[in-house]
Amino acid sequence: MEKLSNPQVTIETIKKYDFAFQKKFGQNFLIDGHVIHKILAAAEVTGEDFVLEIGPGIGTMTQYLAEAAREVVAVEIDKMLIPILQDTLQGYDNVTIMNEDILKVDIRALAEEKNGGKPIKVVANLPYYITTPIIMGLFENHVPLYNMTVMVQKEVAGRMQAAPGTKEYGALSLAVQYYADTYIAANVPPNCFIPRPKVGSAVIRLNAWQQPPVSVEDEKFMFSLIRASFNQRRKTLQNSLVNGGIAVTKEQIAQALAEMNLPVSVRGESLTLEQFARLSNLLKS
């Protein structure tokens, strides 16, 4: 069978199964082999690897992953795509298709079963509406990860890499940078998909840190501070934390900021990850 990265083959496959795109699943199928090669190169997939693919669609990237990796598990939420995947991937005996919601899959158990608990590689063309929950779910549940190479909305990729003081900088920037080193491998225009999305995309690789780059006593507390800081980003950090329901007083926040040589008028958007970690540790103690 000719590769699905040929747009004509994708169109014929969709017609053959009379497949209707589901808006609720944010489905956009990749039809560019060059982009797929860039994804595989960024993920550094080798014949030794077990790869988890999230959202395989009709199997376009799965075909390439199966040829490059030792084993692939492809998790697809849309049951209408399962018979198509069984057809397009029938020539590959190292692929397992799972009709599941990835947010409900025990990926730690999967990594244990398929890869002896060693860090796995994740590859995904993520629906824009669920990008953040999937990425943060993998990180926060401490799934053993080597790297995650994902296609996301270009704007979201920018937010993941954003620096303090910029418009894009926010809770997602800090969370991703706490768990991983980021690298944008490719920008992908809308014409690389069927149907065409309204916005551009980017392939971003997240290399999971073996140890976080900052020392923090209580991760959950630090992230509650971060979320509260950006919920009302035009307010001062002090007011944002008090209004955000964090169990600290204005006086305690002022004292912690003074120890950090920061003014009480400072806003959360200007603090680095290191400063949030230190603030968290000071308020916790």
Q: How wide is the angle at C-alpha 138 spanned by C-alphas 88 and 111, nearest 5°?
A: 65
CA distance 118 to 146: 9
Q: What is the pLDDT along the chain (285 residues), one digit of tens a residue?
A: 689 999 999 999 999 999 998 878 888 999 999 999 999 999 999 999 999 999 999 999 999 999 999 999 999 999 999 999 999 999 999 999 999 999 999 999 999 999 999 999 999 998 777 888 999 999 988 899 999 999 999 999 999 999 999 999 999 999 999 999 999 999 999 999 999 999 999 999 999 998 999 999 999 999 999 999 998 888 999 999 999 989 899 999 999 999 999 999 999 999 999 999 999 999 998
pLDDT at 3: 92
Largest Cα–Cα separation, the chain: 68
Question: Would you give the DSSP letter of residue 27?
Answer: -
Residue 44 to residues 15, 24, 96, 144, Cα–Cα distance (Å): 34, 31, 21, 17
pLDDT at 161: 94
CA distance 279 to 48: 42
Question: Would you give the DSSP letter of residue 58?
Answer: T
- Tokens representing 125 are 């063309």
pLDDT at 245: 86
Note whether 43 and 65 are within 8 A (CB). no
Note whether 150 and 144 are within 8 A (CB). no
Amino acid at 11: I
Dihedral, CA atoms, 117, 119, 121, 124, nearest 10 degrees? 80
- What residue ranges define each of the domains in the chain, with the CATH number in brackets? 7-208 (3.40.50.150), 219-284 (1.10.8.100)
Taking each helix axis from N to C end, the angle separating 273-284 and 171-179, rounded to the nearest 10 degrees, works out to 90
Q: Which of 56, 186, 33 is nearest to 127 (CA)?
A: 56
Q: Which of 105, 97, 94, 84 is nearest to 27 (CA)?
A: 84
CA distance 31 to 192: 5
